Amino acid sequence: MTARVIDGVALSARIREEVALRAAALTAQGVRPGLAVILVGIDPASQVYVRNKVAACEKAGLHSVMEQYPATMTQQELLERVHALNADPAIHGILVQLPLPKHMDPHQVIEAIAAQKDVDGFHVSNAGLLMTGKPLFRPCTPYGVMKMLEAENVPLRGAVAVIIGASNIVGKPMALLLQSAGATVTICNSKTRDLAWHTRHADIVVVATGRPRMVDGSMLKPGAVVIDVGINRTAEGKLCGDVDYESAREVASAITPVPGGVGPMTIAMLLVNTIEAAERTLAARQH
Ligand code: NDP
């Protein structure tokens, strides 16, 4: 079997077209959706992510503000910027790019973002809403994965899903979204014994560990759907995922590539979350 390739570039382009239509409709009603992205420091990967996010916003007709500060910025100064953006009616979404410099506490910074502008969905109240089945914002990467599974008509009700990686930004929210959709979910981490035993029982495997090519075809059930969230750089400077693509695609029924899989979906869902925030602002204004 050679797996179908789940094309995140094509699907994200379709989603961004829908976003552009919704942005135009909002703008026509006097609410131009606005996203503020804050970057502290000069981490090269973060600079690329932030630039891509801002460029995607502009292409879809959203208002975007990019604020870039030196790594010497104090946490208090950053909190003041966040508070100012919380109060800015032109801004519906605020994103602080992680990781932050070591002298800052990312939890305190994320908690300072107004929950209704927390388009990353990382604020504790948004995590709590997701956990209790009433999400306001779904974290962008798992949200994008759900859109991919939906677009591929992957049955989720009753499916066995194994997620490798338990971070707050990918693994845990991914588990909650799959569970809400009716899947039976196992979350594995670095202490999991016999990881392959888990993955070989799974209809859906989502890998988000940051360990290059750690899952290969021998660990998969024939016909499994494989979602590779990982973004790693090889010694030769090429991008690769957490899945060994060549061996996995011989066993899986569908697989996401890296690059061109989950990455572009994450950005598309950030735009969707910003639109949803702006739509809620308009709805509140009309009531
Ligand atoms: P974190 O480092 O926060 O978490 C990694 C998780 O993987 C932890 O739960 C860790 O376990 C687990 N893990 C590490 N090694 C193993 C192992 N050998 N076996 C099983 N589990 C293991 O990573 P993130 O969730 O932030 O990111 C994961 C990957 O996804 C990275 O490559 C990142 O670049 C990528 N990413 C991609 C995005 C996209 O848009 N495509 C967006 C966000 C992230 P433990 O809890 O025990 O430490």
Cα-to-centroid distance, 186 and ligand 1 (Å): 15
Task: Give 119-131 pLDDT, tens digit per residue.
Answer: 999 999 999 999 9
Please give the distance, rounded to the nearest whole angstrom, from the Cα atom of residue 241 to the centre of ligand 1: 11
Please say if the pLDDT value at position 287 is more than 90.
no
User: Average pLDDT of 176-205?
Assistant: 98
In 3D space, the residue among 142, 217, 124, 213 whose CA is nearest the CA of residue 183 turns out to be: 142
What's the mean pLDDT in 101-128? 98
pLDDT mean across residues, the chain: 97
* pLDDT digit string, tens, across residues 226-258: 999 999 999 999 999 999 999 999 999 999 999
117 is a catalytic site residue:
no
The verdict on residue 253 lying in a domain is yes
Using a 6 Å cutoff on CB, does residue 214 contact ligand 1? yes
What is the per-residue pLDDT across 46-72, written as a single tens digit (0 to 9) for each? Answer: 999 999 999 999 999 999 999 999 999
Q: Are residues 74 and 157 in the same domain?
A: no
The rounded percent of the chain whose pLDDT value lies above 70 is 100
171 lines ligand 1 (CB under 6 A): yes
Claim to verify: residue 63 and residue 175 sit in the same structural domain: no
Q: Is there a domain that residue 196 lies in?
A: yes
Which residues are 186's β-sheet partners? 162
The span from the first CA to the last CA of the chain, in angstroms, equals: 55
Quote the domain boundaries for residue 248. Answer: 140-263
Decide: 195 in ligand 1 pocket, CB within 6 A. Answer: yes
What's the sign of the alpha-carbon dihedral 219, 221, 223, 229?
A: negative
**166 Cα–ligand 1 center, Å:** 7
Q: Rounded mean pLDDT of 17-29?
A: 98
Q: Which of 227, 218, 103, 112 is nearest to 162 (CA)?
A: 227
Whether the CB of 265 sits within 6 Å of ligand 1: no
User: Do 57 and 154 reside in the same domain of the chain?
Assistant: no
Q: What is the mean pLDDT of residues 94-122?
A: 98
* Cα 40 to Cα 67, 124, 286, distances in angstroms: 8, 22, 37
Query: Which pLDDT value is given to residue 21?
Result: 98
pLDDT tens profile 8-17: 999 999 999 9
Kindly state whether residues 157 and 248 are assigned to the same domain: yes
113 near 94, Cβ under 8 Å? Answer: yes
The answer on 102 and 152 residing in a single domain is: no
Residue closest via CA to ligand 1's atom 39 equals 263
The residue out of 101, 116, 131 marking a domain boundary is 116
Share of the chain above pLDDT 90, in %: 98
pLDDT band at 259 (very low <50, low <70, confident <90, very high): very high
**Pair 98, 156 in one domain:** no
In the residue annotation, 97 being an active-site residue is answered as yes
> Which atom of ligand 1 lies nearest, measured to the CA of 171?
25
The CATH number for 236's domain is: 3.40.50.720
Residues 90 and 167 in one domain: no
- The Cβ of residue 244 has, within 10 Å, a number of other Cβ atoms equal to 18
For residue 21, tell me if it sits in a domain. no
- At 207 the pLDDT is 98
Q: Tens digits of per-residue pLDDT, 126-152? A: 999 999 999 999 999 999 999 999 999
Residue 269 is assigned to a structural domain of this protein? no
For residues 181 and 156, is the Cβ–Cβ distance under 8 A?
yes
> Is 262 a pocket residue for ligand 1 (Cβ < 6 Å)?
yes
Residue 268 Cβ inside 6 Å of ligand 1? The answer reads no
Summarize the confidence of residues 95-106 as an average pLDDT.
97
* CATH number of the domain within which 46 lies: 3.40.50.10860
Asked if the structure places residue 107 within a domain, the reply is: yes
Question: In this structure, are 103 and 216 located in the same domain?
Answer: no
Whether 287 is in a domain gets the answer: no
Judge if 167 and 55 occupy the same domain.
no
| Same domain membership, residue 150 and residue 109 | no
Side by side, the strands of the sheet bearing 93-96 are 63-69, 34-40, 93-96
> Is the residue at 124 inside a domain?
no
What is the structure's pLDDT at 1? 76
Of the CA atoms within 13 Å of residue 259, those in its CB half-sphere come to 8
Q: Do 83 and 145 sit in the same domain of this protein? A: no
HSE of 166 in the Cβ direction (CA atoms, 13 Å)? 8
Q: Answer yes or no: 53 catalytic.
A: yes
- Confirm if 7 and 260 have CB atoms less than 8 A apart: yes
Residue 179 is predicted with a pLDDT of 98
* Catalytic member of 53, 117, 147, 172: 53
Which residues 6+ apart lie within 8 Å of 235 measured at CB? Answer: none
What pLDDT digit, counting tens, does each position of 172-188 carry? 999 999 999 999 999 99
Looking at the structure, do residues 144 and 222 belong to the same domain, yes or no? Answer: yes
Q: CB of 93 within 8 A of CB of 279?
A: no
pTM of the model as a whole? 0.97
In a domain, 96, yes or no: yes
Domain tally for the chain? Answer: 2
Amino acid at 178: L
pLDDT at 218: 98
CA-to-CA separations, 249 to 3, 33, 198, in angstroms, rounded: 5, 39, 18
